Structure formats: C-alpha cells, structure tokens
Chain A
C-alpha cells in the first residue's frame, strides 16, 4: 500500500493542479475509506477554487461528487461493506440528532462538505484516488448493479439539488417553472420538472449552448442577452409570471432575474450557491408581492433513494448531460474547460475499477 495518492488541489486562486497527498486512513469507528472511481466537477467547486466562497488554501483537496468502492470500514459501520460500489452524499450527517430527525441535515452538528474548505468543516475533498467518509452508514449508499457510475454520481449533489428545488419550491401540477441558469443544475431541474407535472419550464441563460441543452430537455429557452427575460416569461404565462423560480446560478444578477419573473404569490427557490450577495428587492417589496423564499442546499440524503430508482427505471437520465469524461490527471484542464463554459458537465475517472 502506497502512503500517498493523487488529488486535485487548489494551486492558486482560480486554478487547480493534481499532486500527491497523504492517503487517508480510518480516523473513527464510523468512517469508511472509499476508492474513488468517478468524481464530478460541480459549479460550487468553481466557487471554492475561485474563492467566491473563501477559505480554501493552497493544497486543499477539492470535490464532493463521487462514486467509488468501499475499501475499508470502521468497526461501527454496519450498512456498507468492503467491495460495495457506493455513491456518497456531498455531506455527511449523523442521522439521529434533532435536525436529522426533521430531515434538516444541513444543520446537523456533523454537517461538513467534502472539499468545502474550512468554512464547511474542512473535510478533505473527493477528487482523489481515496477519500475518508465520515458517518459512512448515513453518507454512503450502494448503487444498483446495472447503474453506471456516471448516472449514480449525480445523486450525491446536483440532481438532488435540482430535484429538491422543485420539491421544496412546492411545484404543483400545471405550474409554470422558470429556471434561472441553464448550467448542469438548471438542466437537471428541467429534466426533473415533468415528474412534478409542470406545465411549462423556462430556462433562462446567457450561454447559447446551455440554452440549447435545456431546450433539448424540454425547456422553453429564454436568451437573456436578447431581451428582458421577464417579458418572455410573462408573455407566456398569461401575464402572471412563473409560479416557481429556481435560481440556479448564485449571483446578484440571477437573483434579480428570479424576482423579475416570479408571479405575485409565487416561490423563489435559491439552489445556486450564495455567499454574501445583496437581496434583490426590499423586504417590503417581497412582502407586498407575497413571494416565498426557499434557500436550498441540496439534500441527497432525503432524495437519493427515489432518484436512484427514477434513474433505474429510465425516468431520469442525468448522465446525458455529461459532455466530457477525463482522467483525474487532467483536472486542471477540465476545470478550465468548465469555467470557460466549453464543457457542460465533466466527470473525472481515476482509472480504478470495481
């Protein structure tokens, strides 16, 4: 057994590199060590690497979307065993505290995000050959045998995030939904929308390729470069606006767009990563318009079983949005492609096999 392994780490702000780091070992009886086979790059990885979310230091390991094989388990782990192929929730939770009993896992005292930096528990990331998984019984779940890594990896974060945006947004049959940001999360929201009986879903973005991708999934594309998105949404919703808006970017411009397209009495679900952005309207404006606001950190622990089943039965095809499959060694190039919108969704393969 080698003492080191490859890992994608922050090099300088805005750039990653692959370097050798110490291989993790069990630290607690509830830990597991997972040999990573597939890891995905998420938009929030960019937020961390670009330091929109501060705290990542040179050499910190990134990544929170991963699939792998259980290599080793602590004495207290009972639900997974070595050799099983598993997908991890992007964050561990204990499963028995007050918050967990309410399915509010993000406020579990054990909450930390893989590769989220010091602000989110300083848990090492998963774009590596091996990763230590705390609270493995909750964090990991076995993947159905016939399912590919590429499909399963989405249930650990962005598919669950998109799905939760619709669920927590209170989408009802016949509703109109607007998704601000047609990146990977936005595209998955479009993909999930028919499961909620949505009548029409608008995808708003500035990037033509992303709009095309969303259109192919069934969205009405709204090119925010051409006109005011609110005109397009109001024109096609009987002048009412969207019942539910998913803000899937995480910046002030997207928040402003979200509030401009939501109907009076509608809901804005904020599924993009926000850190210190200003609110786009006054509290009074929001109150007068009776807009419900849902700040959402995706919840794989609540939704992963249904999502795995929906993938298994062919109702969801998350791997269909993958544009690039690259080697872990090429992570620096992959991040650059993703950052420049030259890739839609990238998965990194470590070369490990089940």
Chain B
C-alpha cells in the first residue's frame, strides 16, 4: 500500500498537519487546553514527533531536548498515514495492537476526534505536492 517513504516526508506532511492544527484559530486553543504533550514513534520509515499542544510546538526527530510527553503512541508510519486520511478507527487500532498507547485513553480518543477536520487538509497537502498516489492507493483499516 502506498505510504510515506522517507523520514523527511513524515516530518513534512504529518509534522505539517500538526503545525497547521496548532495555528488553527478554532482548533489550536482546543488542543492547547487538552494539556497533552504527544510523542509519536513511527516505524518504517522511522520518525519521532513530539507535539507540545499547550506550548504550541512541534519537535521533529529524536535528538535534542524534547518536552516530556504525557501520551506516547507507537505505530507503523503506514498506519499514521492512513489515519490522517481518515481511514483508521483509532479505538480499534489500539484494541487490535496496531498502535500502542501510553497515557490517558480518553485524551487520546478526544484528540482523535478533534483531528477529524484536518483529514481533508492532509490529503490536500499530499495532492498539492503531486503525491496523489499516496491518497488514491490507500485502503481502509
């Protein structure tokens, strides 16, 4: 299945959607109020993102001084990509072991719900970069 193939792409497109979310006048304050510092550990390609919602920052890569996360999610990059296209049931992915979570499950599911308006923007960012294949050749989980 088509997915992001390089760490740089992960940081550009998934990192980018988080930056958009934080900058969004409606969504940004809601995310900040969650109090969540989210660490995402992706595999194949490997990538680490730490999103500090209250602090309004997105850290890319495992190096340097990272904010202490209170929620950590680990998964294949392919799953993350499918999630941002709106094709993953987050609760089911956790139950099936496709994603591993550390931290408050209610907060994770709340974040998942808040993210829904961003799905079209993620798709649009890929299409704008000529990566239509990453959208059109993705199944549903």
Contacts and interface: CB of A to CB of B under 8 A. Distances in A.
Contacts of B25: none
Given A288-B91, A288-B109, A230 B98 contact: no
Contacts of B109: 288
Interface in B72-123: 91, 94-98, 100, 102, 104-106, 109
Contacts of B105: 281, 285, 288-289
B100 A239 contact: yes
Contacts of B95: 264-265
A260 B100 CA distance: 11
Contacts, number: 30
Nearest to A286: B105
Contacts of A238: 97
A19 B90 CA distance: 62
Interface centre among B91, B97, B104, B109 (most CB of A within 10 A): B97
A284 B105 CA distance: 9
Contacts of A260: 102
A319 interface: no
Contacts of B97: 234, 237-241, 263
A230 B100 CA distance: 10
Contacts of A237: 97
B106 A284 contact: yes
Size class of the A contact interface (CB-based, 8 Å): 10 to 19
Interface string A228-245: 101000100111110000
Interface in A277-291: 281-282, 284-285, 288-289
A70 B105 CA distance: 55
Contacts of B100: 234, 239
Contact of A264 (B94, B102, B104, B106): B94
Contacts of A241: 97
Contacts of A265: 95
Nearest to A284: B106
Nearest to A237: B97
A237 B94 CA distance: 14
Interface in B12-50: none
Nearest to B96: A240
Nearest to A234: B100
Nearest to B109: A288
Contacts of B104: 281-282, 285
A288 B107 CA distance: 11
B130 to A, nearest CB: 34
A239 B106 contact: no
B106 A288 contact: yes
A230 B73 CA distance: 13
21 contacts: A228-B102, A230-B102, A234-B100, A238-B97, A239-B97, A239-B98, A239-B100, A240-B96, A241-B97, A263-B97, A264-B94, A264-B95, A265-B95, A281-B105, A282-B106, A285-B104, A285-B105, A288-B105, A288-B106, A288-B109, A289-B105
Q: Which 5 A-B pairs have the closest CB atoms?
A: A239-B97, A264-B95, A240-B97, A288-B105, A285-B105
